[in-house]
A and B are shown apart, each in its own frame.
Chain A
């Protein structure tokens, strides 16, 4: 085992001895499958089950994981490895917001790709094809920054708002976690949610992402007149659409725009063909602000493994951090730091321009004394090695 791995293993193990595992999140631990990836050899261990938090703790202190997961599903026999024998009883609904799936402008600043074929490199997310050799295999080097997290946090807050106003799931009924790396998980685990089928979950995913939205469904034709349900006071999607459209429409300033304004305000019931045309034209501009950028695969999957709250993320050494809504609102990555004490001398083989509050842009190749959590982060990302 490398010295770096030995260090991580002892730090992680010591952390798990006192990690704050709770009985209310995840609920009903004995009904969950626990899975983990071992730090030592990256082997995935699945189909574990534990009757108590103390049993789980004993296990992970000894078998130190780089990643620790639990099943969003409840099973009759969570420890059985045959999926058919597990006895599915229901599953949480998890909204996964990962900045990896959201295009952010700052990716140009901190991400790079390298062509595995010819070595060509570039900034931002990897292209479809290498501009030099046409190859399609790349090594992607991604980092996150405050702006990335800010975007993810806004998306998370949007999801929480839609859950509350549209689905009637209040913020007190959701569990929120910083994932320890690039995003947030929002868990809903109420009785009625648990039994939702995959088809039903797909509908919810489409609702969040506005897939299949047909604006004409919010206009009703009666005789020659067309009535609009798009009003700033409306509930649900038509309400959000109306409020966003309203902001755009007041800038247009034409006569048709004035009519649409009145319709959106609810002062005029019917809408003209030209009015509808204008709304259809403005629609693409307002959709991004209403759409929730969630990972639909996670939402639909009823057998998903998800990070265990207060476990460590093996790619960062940060904590999978449970948050209240107001903590989410003021979230900064410092909140997820675990290894605050001490410092380490490391050699940097690569680094993002900025990490936590440190400017590392010009430090690649150098040996530095770094605060413990910064060094651990870089070691976890495999871009730093220990120096004497």
Chain B
């Protein structure tokens, strides 16, 4: 059974969110920039701390040893963490998205092998192509009966370096449909690139992977990849939106604090109505985003869940607002906003990166309207 956000008491939800916030402040705040390229620190320590705090098993089913919460609960936590370091939120998101594919695919009564692999207490997070959606990612070719073997290229696999296992797509040559597989990244035949330098969320390192006849465990039914992806997307879109919201909130806080103490033109910045208008725009964008998320049942206020589409729409809309707001967040700090001594430039990059979570925006728009049109026809 999965416990959804709207089925929980506000107090319970807040407790999860507070947990995430205190984790972010205690474990992440001091070294945010060091987990960025050129990586004075890798994220392993922070991931270990997250695992100990139970953040890697929030949406892991209870029967597999997890907390068994719906991904929507995770969203609130991701927004708190993103306000401090969206890169770390990206790590949790990647792992959670991979778990959602597995949950959607695997019949829990008959999944001893998968369960053993993903629920190990000492287990590392799962790797996943978190920035891609069907139609845009190259699919490795699947060969073999019984034992499936994957060959081909997997670009931009988030956590591909630190994870032991990855959830990856694959398709039989000539086949129209694709499936999901669990691959052990420590096997022969797996070749990883150096970490790919991405614009944002750099703590969540991604690598390009080449597979050469690597044995893989089929997840769920063959050819059902699209359906499992859609289920995962519906559940995780709120998380993607929440990351964008958290980034925006962090940006607003820093801009507001700066405007209160920066003196320019004979007064504090906050006293210029032009500056206030910029702050107001950011604040409106944040409020609208909160409302959107609440509408998806995230805010813990019992608002009705608006169905699959609402989270998808929220992710698209909020990520766009976050890109605008974080650019304004840099602008409000003038030259300082452009420098790494402040958090704003990172947030602006992170917001752009977060916009790619779960696939290209344009394609998600197309699939969103496709679903609506299908429903209208039916």
A binds B: no
Chain B contacts to A: CB under 8 angstroms: none
